């Protein structure tokens, strides 16, 4: 069975991990077989829910950084498993059928049949190995450098999905997702400053929170995390091609990586 993630090593001195969970479109044949959508419907859904080209944004920004961060990239579509969801009843998106294994799509239409029974197979094959590998990467970086900052790299569509739990919220150029325990104020300030040229920014609106492996969540304050959710039209046109805004996003991310590195060296 194919591995659904890729780890791209960074500098041994780097405390930064760029996590890119939603950039991919690949769906293995055996998983595609379980999906009810026809090819045109599937393409439309992938266009709607994929954080298109955020992996490229992350990789180019990493290459521009003086101290190259580590990258952890999901290479399978979130329609296989969504690694950013809780795999249990804590997940709020279960209410709309879009938990760790999606039952619904962004319009509310069924993605899988109502009698689908393969959820545990998908979790065991893809979700848990992904989570374990990212946990181990964070642990190794902690052992090497004493602290880790995860930058959770996302984008979101300008239009609101019909099947969403956050209807009616602002949709700024940049949404900065934070966690009370894992996101210190200086990291919020650095992120806000680095992306200030993109336009308006809001904290935890329309999307809230940021990824931390469950082993460290709420218990290890050496693990910092922040989510960058760039509104897609800031850097992509309607054909998913980069326009001039892409360079501004890349510069902002590279600047944030540098700021985190400087802060780590000064501690």
Give the CATH number of the domain where residue 154 resides: 3.40.630.40
pLDDT score of 80: 98
pLDDT score of 267: 63
120 pLDDT tier (thresholds 50, 70, 90): very high
Mean pLDDT of 97-118: 95
User: Taking a C-beta distance cutoff of 8 angstroms, is the pair 252, 194 a contact?
Assistant: yes
- Angle, helices 185-194 vs 245-266, to 10°: value is 150
Query: What domain range includes position 60?
Result: 5-266
pLDDT score of 160: 85
- pLDDT one-digit tens code per residue, 194-252: 999 999 999 999 999 999 999 999 999 999 999 999 999 999 999 999 999 999 999 99
Mean pLDDT of 105-125: 96
pLDDT at 92 over 90: no
Phi/psi zone of residue 146: left (φ > 0), alpha (ψ -120 to 50 degrees), beta?
left
Structural domain count, the chain: 1
Per-residue exposure over 27-46, b if at least 16 CB sit within 10 Å of its own CB, e if not? beeebeebbebeeeebeebb
Supply the mean pLDDT for the chain: 95
Mean pLDDT of 39-49: 97
115 pLDDT tier (thresholds 50, 70, 90): very high
- pLDDT one-digit tens code per residue, 149-197: 999 999 999 988 887 777 778 899 999 999 999 999 999 999 999 999 9
Q: How far apart are CA 13 and CA 84, in angstroms?
A: 27
pLDDT score of 169: 81
pTM of the predicted protein model: 0.96
pLDDT at 266 over 70: no
Mean pLDDT of 83-94: 88
pLDDT score of 111: 98
User: Taking a C-beta distance cutoff of 8 angstroms, is the pair 1, 122 a contact?
Assistant: no
pLDDT score of 134: 98
């Amino acid at each position: 069975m194919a591995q659904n993630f890729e780890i791209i090593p960074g500098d041994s001195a780097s405390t930064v991990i760029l996590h890119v969970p939603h950039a991919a479109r690949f769906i293995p044949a055996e998983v595609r077989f379980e999906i009810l959508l026809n090819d045109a419907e599937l393409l439309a859904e992938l266009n709607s829910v994929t954080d298109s080209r955020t992996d490229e944004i992350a990789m180019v920004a990493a290459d521009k950084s003086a101290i190259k961060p580590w990258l952890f990239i999901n290479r399978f579509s979130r329609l296989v498993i969504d690694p950013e969801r809780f795999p249990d009843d804590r997940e709020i998106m279960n209410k709309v059928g879009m938990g760790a294994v999606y039952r619904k799509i962004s319009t509310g239409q069924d993605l899988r049949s109502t009698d689908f029974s393969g959820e545990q197979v998908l979790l065991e094959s893809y979700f848990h190995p992904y989570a374990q590998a990212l946990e181990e990467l964070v642990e190794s970086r902690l052992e090497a450098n004493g602290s880790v900052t995860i930058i959770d790299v996302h984008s979101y569509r300008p239009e609101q999905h019909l099947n969403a739990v956050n209807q009616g919220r602002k949709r700024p150029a940049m949404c900065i997702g934070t966690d009370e325990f894992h996101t210190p104020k200086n990291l919020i300030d650095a992120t806000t400053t680095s992306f200030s040229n993109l336009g308006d920014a809001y904290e935890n609106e329309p999307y809230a929170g940021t990824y931390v492996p469950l082993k460290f969540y709420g218990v290890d304050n050496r693990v910092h995390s922040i989510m960058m959710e760039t509104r897609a039209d800031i850097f992509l046109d309607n054909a998913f091609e980069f326009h001039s805004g892409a360079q501004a996003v890349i510069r902002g991310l590279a600047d944030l990586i540098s700021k985190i590195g400087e802060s780590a060296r000064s501690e």
